[in-house]
Amino acid sequence: MGIVNYTNMVLEVDNFIFKNDVKINLAPGSEIPQAKENLGIAINSAYDDLSPKISVDGKTLIFARQYSPDNLGGAEDNEDVWFATSEDGEVWDKAQNYGVPINTKETDNLGSISGDLQTLMFCKNDGFVFKHKTETGWSEPERIYPGFKNESQYMEGNLSSDGKAIIFSVKTKDNIAYREKVDEKDLYVILRNQDGTWSKPINLGKDINTDQGELAPFLAADGRTLYFASEGWPGFGGADIFVSKRLDNTWTRWSRPQNLGRFINTTSFDAFYTVPASGKYAYMVSNAAGIGKGDIIRIKLPEQAKPEPVVLVKGKTLNAKTKKPISAAISFDDLTTNQQVGRANSEPQSGTYSIALPYGTNYGLHAGAKGFISVNENLELVTIQSYTEMEKDLYLIPIEIGESIPLNNVFFEQGKPILKKESFSELDRLAQILLDNPNIEIQLNGHTDSQGNKTALINLSIDRVGVVKKYLIDKGISAKRIAGKGFGPEKPIAPNDTEENRRKNRRVEFEITKK
């Protein structure tokens, strides 16, 4: 039996919802009641507080405030960037104006914050501007011009958590349904190439874009779940917020967008939806009666409404000898494909970093800084299937004679001197270090656990060192620069009493013998 809601003109029939005889495709969990919580006077003001961006760890909130007398340009300043922090992601300290050089007396249209919190991305009419945190403040603007002309008055953009994609909404002649006199936008993506350049814009296609307007995109930390506002997909009125899943790496195949339901969307304009890596809360803007014209609110999400789970890895980049923080660039690779899948930077003064990694993959993590060699780390996240946080400090060893660096992501077939393909990324980086530092000479040291005949184990370690040496020679490194020795089980770094400890003892290291 159907129940007619005359206020919203919504018809419910057998768990389906129709509006004006059009079926609204609802997201799982969207019909579970979700209380909207105003973030209060610590965040919201008597003015418009809009376009929230939440950090991956849920403890930094950045947003826009319009026409406030506390903006740099005073009450005539259309938009400044404000921020607030929280110790626990629950209670917020009082919001502060970012000040110069982030804000000016003009409109400051913040598009996104990077997953590592070290970069702010601003949207301009023909591209994007990055400002990076440095030891002395903020860098000079880095401008990205991907080759489009936005015919709309405004645009919104979102930098993905892994730093490799920007999804944005613009009106160009490449829109799905371009109409000269109508201000309707499509969603596009540009992708960061391995050399740091950016691709040309890719329209997300008809799976996402309609002949009406799509705007305010947000890609969750899993890299697949896209939230956006649309006036074209069936909804409750005005623009509604929808969710869709990326189906492959083309960025043009998506699942059918699902409406987030009546506990998120209203009969008026709804947009600017953002979620931390945990998926615990969604943050958005409401024009309902509150503190100001537009207020930032949050909604506690049921499990069905959360994006796919990720692992939030936090820690510091440290000098391995002094244990003092180092400003470093961090890369994370998918060891099954030997491809870099993301990048981040540690905070210049404290060395702190945070990255969100989708589960289901074996990752290699390494930090880079001039004059240092990274101790690469291995994170096996294949079996983790729920949101998890872990601490992992990344160490960098000074390039000095006598320093020994473990190759943690070099793997061999069981009992054989045969490299697994998961080893290639780490060995490629070692080869590049040697190419970049042509005076360095090294000795490869091979080790095993104690399981088996000692003579056979020593021979196995010698053979494995020989395989690593050949790999480096094949990459262009002179054989004269690489010595090698196999120690078998003679130099354990852990007791050989458990499989985990024995795995630590099965290792290859390299020692710097000349620089």
**For residues 472 and 270, what is the distance between their CA atoms, to the nearest angstrom?**
56
Per-residue pLDDT of the chain (515 residues; tens, 9 = 90+): 333 343 445 555 445 566 556 788 888 888 888 888 999 999 999 999 999 999 999 999 999 999 999 999 999 999 999 999 999 999 999 999 999 999 988 888 889 999 899 999 999 888 999 999 998 899 999 999 998 889 988 889 999 999 999 999 999 999 998 887 778 999 999 999 988 899 999 999 999 999 999 999 999 999 999 999 999 999 988 899 999 999 999 999 999 999 998 888 888 888 899 999 999 999 998 887 688 888 999 999 888 888 999 999 999 999 999 999 999 999 989 988 888 888 899 999 999 999 999 988 899 999 999 889 988 888 988 887 789 999 999 999 999 999 899 998 899 988 899 999 989 989 998 999 899 889 999 999 999 999 999 999 999 999 999 999 999 999 999 999 999 999 999 999 999 999 889 888 889 999 999 98
Q: What is the DSSP string of 75-108?
A: GG---EEEEEE-SSSSS-PPPEE--TTT--SS--
Structure tokens belonging to residue 264: 């998120």
Query: Tell me, what's the pLDDT at 257?
Result: 96
Q: Burial level of 498, CB count in 10 A (0-12/13-18/19+)?
A: exposed
Q: Using the Cα atoms of residue 229, residue 233, residue 234 and residue 238 in order, give the sign of their dihedral.
A: positive
Going by C-alpha positions, the residue among 238, 190, 187 that lies closest to residue 210 is 187
3-state DSSP call for residue 252? coil
Query: Tell me, what's the pLDDT at 18?
Result: 62
Per the listing, tokens 């945070």 go with: 354
pTM metric for this prediction: 0.84
- Residue 288: count other Cβ atoms within 10 Å of its Cβ: 11
Q: Which residues pair with 367 in a beta bridge?
A: 330
Q: What own/partner pairs with CB < 8 Å and gap ≥ 24 does 488-494 have?
A: 488/447, 488/448, 488/454, 488/455, 488/457, 488/458, 488/459, 488/460, 488/461, 489/447, 489/448, 489/449, 489/450, 489/454, 489/457, 490/447, 490/458, 491/447, 492/447, 492/449, 492/450, 493/447
Which domains occur in the chain, in start order?
26-305 (2.115.10.20), 309-398 (2.60.40.2190), 403-515 (3.30.1330.60)
Q: Which residues pair with 137 in a beta bridge?
A: 134
Q: Is 330 in contact with 353 (CB distance < 8 Å)? A: yes
Q: Which residues make Cβ contacts (< 8 Å) with residue 295, sequence separation at least 6?
A: 38, 39, 44, 49, 285, 286, 287, 288
Q: Which residues pair with 128 in a beta bridge?
A: 123, 144
**Element holding 465 (H helix, E strand):** helix 454-474
**For residues 8 and 20, what is the distance between their CA atoms, to the nearest angstrom?**
10
461: left (phi over 0), alpha (psi -120 to 50) or beta: alpha
**For residues 350 and 324, what is the distance between their CA atoms, to the nearest angstrom?**
9
SS (H, E, C) 141-162: CEEECCCCCCCCCCCEEEECCC
